[in-house]
A and B are shown apart, each in its own frame.
Chain A
Amino acid sequence: MERKTPKYLFWRRFTKNGLAVCGSIIVILLFFVAAFAPSISPYDPGQINIKDMLQPPSRYHLLGTDQLGRDVLSRMIWGSRISLMVGFVAVGIATVIGAFLGALAGYYGKWIDTVIMRFVDIMLCFPAFFLILAVIAILEPTIWNVMVVIGLTSWMGVTRLVRAEFLSLRERDFVKAAQAIGSKDVRVIFLHILPNALSPIWVSATLGVAAAILTESALSFLGIGVQPPTPSWGNILTAGKDNIEIAWWLSLYPGLAILITVLGYNLLGEGIRDAIDPRLKT
C-alpha cells in the first residue's frame, strides 16, 4: 500500500507510545507558556512589593511570593522563556559544531579523523561542569555567554554520532554514484550524506535540550548563570536556599518546573528514537 511510507510508520509508532505522547504534550504546553508569558502571568514578574514578601501560597499568590514580594508563579512563567532559549540556542550551537566536525572526520578519514577524534577524547576528559563554570565566570555571566559556553562544551557526542553515520554511509552506492558524476565534496557531504544521517541527530538534540536546561539551572542556582532581576528557575531556587528555613515554596515549585520540563524533553527524545528504529528499544 502507498501509505506505508517510513514517515507513516514513524508517526504510527510514535503516537502509539504513551510516554512519547506525554512528552510532546509537555513540550508543546511549555512553548505556549513561554510564548504567551505576558498575557498569562498574573503579575508583573519584576513588581517588588516589600509588604508582601515571603508570603506562602494563597488565593492571591498561587505559588507564594519571594523575598522581595514578587509573585513566584509569574516569575516562573517568565523563567520558562529563559529555559527554552538556553536549551535551543545551546543545542543549536552544539549540533552545528558536532555535525560539521563529525562529517569532516567521517567523510575524509585519515589524519583529519585522527585529529578531530583525539580532540573529542580530550574534551571528554574534562568534567564538563568544571569547564563551563571556569569559562563563564571569567567571561562575565550573561545569558548569552551561558548559552554559547554550554553549546561549546557539549558537541562531542554529536560528533561521534555523525562520524559513525558518515563512516557507513560514505561506502553506499548513492554516495559512490554522486562522486562518480563529479559532485564536489561539499555537495556530497551536505546534500547526499547529511540528510540521511539526520535521525540520530534529532534524537541527540532533543535529549540535549533537556541536558542544557539542567546545566543552565544549576549555573543560575550557583549565581553564575542568568543574573537577577531576570527571572530563571535556577535563580529562584537560589532565593529558596537563602530562605530554606522559612519559605519551602521558593524551593519546591521552580525545581518541579525543571523536573517536568526535562522529563518532557527526555520522553520526547526517547520516543523519537524508538519510533525511528524499534529495534533499539530498551
Chain B
Amino acid sequence: MFHYLLKRLASMVPLLFGITLVSFMVIHLAPGAPTGLQTDLNPRITAEARARLEAIYGLDKPLHTQYLIWLKRLMFLDFGNSFSTDGRAVMDKIVERVPVTVLINVLSMLLIILTAIPIGVISARYQNSLFDKFTTVFVFIGFAVPSFWLALLLMILFGVNLEWLPISGLKSLNYEYLPTFDMIVDRVKHLILPIFVSAFGGLAGLSRYTRSNMLEVIRQDYIMTARSKGLKERDVIFKHALRNALLPIVTILGLSVPGLIGGSVIFETIFAIPGMGQLFYKSVMARDYPVVMGILVIGAVLTLLGNLIADLSYALADPRIKVA
C-alpha cells in the first residue's frame, strides 16, 4: 500500500508542473495587460508611469523569467500579492474563502450520496416499476436543468413568494444579536438553497450510475448463490449486491470534484456567498492575475487530491486491485 501511495504521489509531480504551466500561460498569453484597468482609463498617463507600474508587478521581465519567479515562490506556497487596492497576499485571500466553499461542497456531496444511492438501488431492484420510470425522467431533467436557473426559481418560490428562506448571503443582518439556537437556525436556512442547487446535477448523475451498476451486479452468479441459499432479499441487496456496486462509484465521486468546484462560481455569485468561487469571479472581472492564477492552481490541485483519495479508497476497498 505504501509503495502504491508513493508511486501515485510521484506520478502527480509532472501533472502539478503542467498545471502551473497551463495556469500561467492562460493568463499571460492573452492580450490585455493587467495594468490595463488602471492605465487605459486614464488618458493623462505617461509611458514612464506605465513602465513604473509594470515594474512594480514584475511585468517588464520576459515571460519565462516571470514564470520561473512565480514557480519558485509557489514552492513556498507564496502566490504573490493581489493587484487589487488592498494588495494583500493572494494565499491569505484564498485561504479565508476556502472553508465556506469546501463546507458547501462537502455537504452537497453528502446529500448526493445519501439520496442518490438509495434512489439508484430501489430503481434497479424494481426495474421498470413506476418508481423506476419516474426517476428515469427525473434523471434526464436533472442533467438538463441549468443550475443557475434552478437557483432563480427556488429563490422566487421560497424566498420571494413563500418567504421561508433567505435568498442571499450566509447570515442575516441581525445575526450577532440572535440567541445561539437561532444563530444555528439562521445559518442552516441560508445554506439550504445553495446546497440543494449545487447537489441537484450530481444527484441525477449518481443515481443513474448506481442504478446501472446495481443492474449489472444483480445479474451476477454470486447474487443467485446468495438468493438460492435462502438469504433474505434485504441482505442480498444491501450486503452482497450494493457493496460490489458501490466500488466504481468511489471513482465517480473523485471525478466529480472539478465540476463541484467549478459550479461554486455560479451558485456563490447568485446567492452572494463569500467563497472561493465568488472571489474568483470578482478577481477575473478585475483582472487580478495573481489571484486568478492562484485559484486556478488550487482548484486543479484540489481535483488531483480528489482523484488520489478516490484511487486510494478504491485500492483499499477492492482486494482484487493489486497495489504493488
Write the residues of chain A forming the contact surface with B, with a CB cutoff of 8 angstroms.
19, 118-119, 121-131, 133-135, 137-140, 210, 214, 217-218, 221-222, 224, 237, 240-241, 244-245, 248, 251-252, 254-255, 258-260, 262-263, 266-267, 282
Contact = CB atoms under 8 A, between A and B. Distances in A.
Contact of A122 (B19, B140, B147): B19
B287 A130 contact: no
Contact of A218 (B146, B159, B304): B146
A133 B296 CA distance: 11
A232 B259 CA distance: 24
A214 B263 CA distance: 12
Given A127-B258, A210-B144, A266-B144, A240 B152 contact: yes
Nearest to B287: A138
Given A122-B15, A241-B270, A267 B140 contact: yes
Grouping DSSP codes into helix (H, G, I), strand (E, B) and loop, the A interface class, with mixed when no group exceeds half, is helix
Contacts of A252: 153
B285 interface: yes
B184 interface: no
Interface residues of B, number: 54
Contacts, number: 142
A118 B304 CA distance: 13
Contacts of B211: 282
A282 B270 CA distance: 35
8 contacts: A127-B300, A130-B299, A133-B284, A134-B292, A135-B30, A237-B152, A245-B160, A263-B144
Nearest to B269: A222
A244 B155 contact: yes
A209 B218 CA distance: 34
A134 B26 contact: yes
A125 B144 contact: no
B300 A125 contact: yes
Q: From DSSP, what is the main secondary structure of chain B's interface residues?
A: helix
Interface string B260-275: 0111011001100000
Interface of B: 14-15, 18-19, 22-23, 26-27, 30-32, 140-141, 143-150, 152-153, 155-156, 159-160, 167, 208, 211-212, 215, 258-259, 261-263, 265-266, 269-270, 280-281, 284-285, 287, 292, 295-296, 299-301, 303-304
A270 to B, nearest CB: 9
Nearest to B303: A125
Nearest to B216: A282
Contacts of B215: 282
A185 B255 CA distance: 35
A19 B303 CA distance: 35
Nearest to B14: A118
A126 to B, nearest CB: 5
Q: Which 3 A-B pairs have the closest CB atoms?
A: A255-B149, A127-B262, A129-B262
Contacts of B259: 127-128
Contacts of A138: 27, 30-32, 284, 287
Contacts of B295: 130
